[in-house]
Amino acid sequence: MNDGNYNDACSRITLRVNGAAKQLDVSPWTTLLDALREQLHLTGTKKGCDHGQCGACTVLVDGRRSNSCLSLAIMRDGAEVTTIEGLAEGQALHPLQQAFIDHDAFQCGYCTPGQICSAVGLIREGRARTPDEIRELMSGNICRCGAYPQIVAAIEQAMGHEEGR
């Protein structure tokens, strides 16, 4: 237990971010969101409300969608983190990225990285089959431009639900 001592100085942690091991020094109060943006310069993940209400900060931690603004980086030591920057395979966009373009599923784009990471988690969870279920299980991601119909359509396409309509 850290030699029984509390730690209020910086700690060295290791995160596997988008497939690469990254060592960084964080304070106990550094959020995963701030560590990604300010230390690793992965600014695709956005700080919206910073209170877990808007979903703009959504990333995948050990494969599951999470609000990085409410995660303390020090508690994620050893975790695998995937951000929007880690979804494409080289020049080939992730199917959800392509689907968001195909369906014009954004206007200002600020919520989009969180929407897409959340949708990756949603599809992996395998619980949403209908548009209503997609809407319910994407309710943690707010789009103030109101692109919701296009977002649902994009997710349906990526789920392979587009055929047969």
Partner 1 sequence: MNRFAYLRADDVGAAVRAVAADPSARFIAGGTNLVDLIKENVERPTRIVDITRLPLGEIGPGERGGLRIGALVKNSDLAYHPEVERRYPLLSRAILSGASAQLRNMASTGGNLMQRTRCSYFYDTTTPCNKREPGTGCAALGGFNRMHAILGASEQCIAVNPSDMSVALAALEAVVHVTGPEGDRAIAFAEFHRLPGDAPQLDTNLRQGELITAVELPALGFAEHHAYLKIRDRASYAFALVSVAAALELQGGTVTEARVALGGVAHKPWRDREAEALLVGRRVALEHFQRVADALLQGAVGRGANDFKIELARRAIVRALSHAAGRTSRDDARR
135 backbone φψ class: left, alpha, beta (φ>0; ψ -120 to 50): alpha
Report, in Å, the least distance between residue 56 CB and partner 1.
11
151 three-state secondary structure = helix
Which one among 121, 147, 151, 158 touches partner 1, defined by CB under 8 A?
A: 121
Report, in Å, the least distance between residue 30 CB and partner 1.
9
How many CA atoms within 13 Å lie on the side-chain side of 2?
8
Cα Rg of the chain (Å, integer): 17
For 154, the token pair is 């994009």
Binding to partner 1 by residue 124, rule CB under 8 A?
no
Report, in Å, the least distance between residue 67 CB and partner 1.
5
DSSP of 106-120:
-SS-TTHHHHHHHHH
Report, in Å, the least distance between residue 97 CB and partner 1.
19
DSSP conformational letter for 49: S
Binding segment for partner 1 among 82-90, 96-104, 138-146, 156-164 (CB under 8 A)? 138-146
Q: How many residues bind partner 1 (CB under 8 A)?
A: 38
- Please list every residue from 10 through 29 that binds partner 1, using CB under 8 A: 11, 27-29
CA angle 98, 102, 104 (to 5 degrees): 110
- Please list every residue from 68 through 97 that binds partner 1, using CB under 8 A: 70-72, 74-75
For 46, the token pair is 């956005």
Question: Which residues of the shown chain bind partner 1 in the complex (CB under 8 A)?
Answer: 1-2, 4-8, 11, 27-29, 31, 50-52, 55, 58, 64-67, 70-72, 74-75, 118, 121-122, 125, 127, 135-141
